[in-house]
Structure 1
Amino acid sequence: MMYLKYMEKYGYEQLVFIQDEQTNLKGIIAIHNTKLGPALGGARLWDYKTEEEAVFDALRLARGMTYKSAAAGLPLGGGKAVLIGDASKVKNEAYFKKFGEFIEKLNGNYITAEDMNITTLDMSYINSETKHVTGLEGMSGDPSPITAKGTYYAIKASLKHMFGDDTVMNHSFAVQGVGATGSNVIKELIEEGATKIYFSEVNEEHAKAIKTKYPSLIEVSNEELFKLDVTCLVPCAMGGVLNDKTIPNIKAKIVCGTANNVLLDEEKHSQMLNDLNILYAPDFIVNAGGIINVYHEIIGYETNNVLKDVFKIYGRVIEIFELAEDNNINTQEAAMLYANNILNKTK
């Protein structure tokens, strides 16, 4: 990948490579845009196959955070950190303290939060070296339940738009990934009366835990999940799962993007879904609950205020669908138009 060309094309500000031989820390911090405020975005730890894969993930995720914050009406920019390594081997206090030192050197341009394979304890180690951290124990903590709440509202908004009624009871759902967010999405659906829910999960412990809690769930493989004739497909795992291979097999009427960057190719695959008459709720609109939660931690956390802002996702999803119809564009294009209108209003 020609990094500078890619950065120029999509308007990135910084791409920072970090490494420390003593702690075996290797990673990338991408800052896309700080027009509205400091770049906020989680740090994820993953055993990437190649350096290029890690960089591309950081860049795509950082850009997504810009639009997510803008669309959610937050005075924040977009950033992301990806750390490269096997979480079971590299994680320790010194590792995260060193990461905190690197964040501190960015002078507040990047604020980190927890993401994949990072815990609130890890965040406390980072916090010992920098104040530019959110999602700490004793504050708002894990944002996943709030992210799931926003996803639940987005699902209901999608049902309302398609069927004229947002009740989940008479519909079927397929959830990919039942980690922190996916398991809470299932909880929300079941509590409102959904009875037919399929799921797939590569982590055996997560799968066992959710089946123990909700025995009525039906477990299938990832490949099977995308072929199910359900009302709504909810991808809550890794990005890039909506692609040339999976989209032609999708029988769901609605896809509610919950994982970040679920479209492998944003332009191509959003149009593929549109051409198949599959209603796509764009991920950065759907999963904004997490960043809303984190923002309220920064300004002073009041649960009622957080829930009020997360509920706005319902109306925002409806607005995106209507914007797409009014302008004869697909829903991803409508979401980008919505966010860019906000960014362009800022001097």
Structure 2
Amino acid sequence: MHDLLEGVVPYEIKLVFKKLISLGCFNLETVNNRISAFDFGYLESKNKPSPIKLDGTGNRIGQKAAQAWCLIRFLPMILGDLIVDEVHLKYWDLILQLLECMSFIFFRSFNESSILTLKSLIIKHHSLFKFLFPDQNLLPKHHFMCHYPFIIKMSGPLISLWTMRFEGKHNYFAQLAHNNRNFKNICFSLAMRHQQYSSHVFKNLDFHHGIKTDKICKATMSEFDDSFDIVESLKNYLNDHDICIKTEMMTTNQIWFNGYNYKHNFVVCFEMGTIFPKFGIISEFLIQNDNSCLLILKVLETEFFYRHLFAYKVRVTENLYRVINVKDLVTHDAMEIKQNCNLSGLFVISRHFL
């Protein structure tokens, strides 16, 4: 969080934007207008970036850590159609290479090959930085990145060690102290309120370690869109040929699994293909008797990875569905379909390497 989201990311965005503005690629007003108009969706609604500031001293651009993470992941989708000139692309490639490094740094599962890949990407990124900006110094936080492959090899994925969770926990106490407005023996007050909160959490452990649902209701298969195709997919998955369009199932509008929220029209990765990951749009939820949940996914065909937008280009298939247990997803991060205002096609942006 401190090395990248509050260090390298704003520093390099500021340098690249100042250079591209001086080259006439776009102006800051255009960038901020596009950020303001872009649909970040439900999943990133709390992390929507603020207008970028380039006139301040230092390396800050007016973003918090979560906003900086959201901003750099969606910047290629927001501005990609404006960057077509060869000179502009040379500088824009620094942002793309940083994104490549981050897609591995925020990865949750490593092997020897991916660690070596990350090491190579960091070297390549730092070399490009010095080539493009010879008069600018690499930050100490750039140097810390060079140690990441070794730390990952010794201690595991950095996403399990980073300080963002500490900051989130600390924010709970900061807000509580502000709302309490009584600082007499504040430590006792915070400890008491935290114990009450912990008691509530432990009483509802299913919210964290199992599946929690919205209101559950009964529905016949005929009530679903494309019910015939869904029935056939369900027959194959459950190996139950008695299922028909008159069969009643328990369904809901949204679920929470191990703290991850899933809603209709969210995109999930259900399988790793031979070349690209396979995505599907959540069409329906089916609640089983053992409190497990099946996702009915409308399959998306992954055409290719569009590096310039740093996103997977996908296409909605006709009447092709897939059934999968929510526990069996490749990654439990949900995504949403995004579009560029001038480029045609549908795109899926992942938080990390798949």
TM-score by length of 2: 0.25
Q: Which has the higher strand share?
A: 2
Larger of the two Rg values belongs to structure: 2
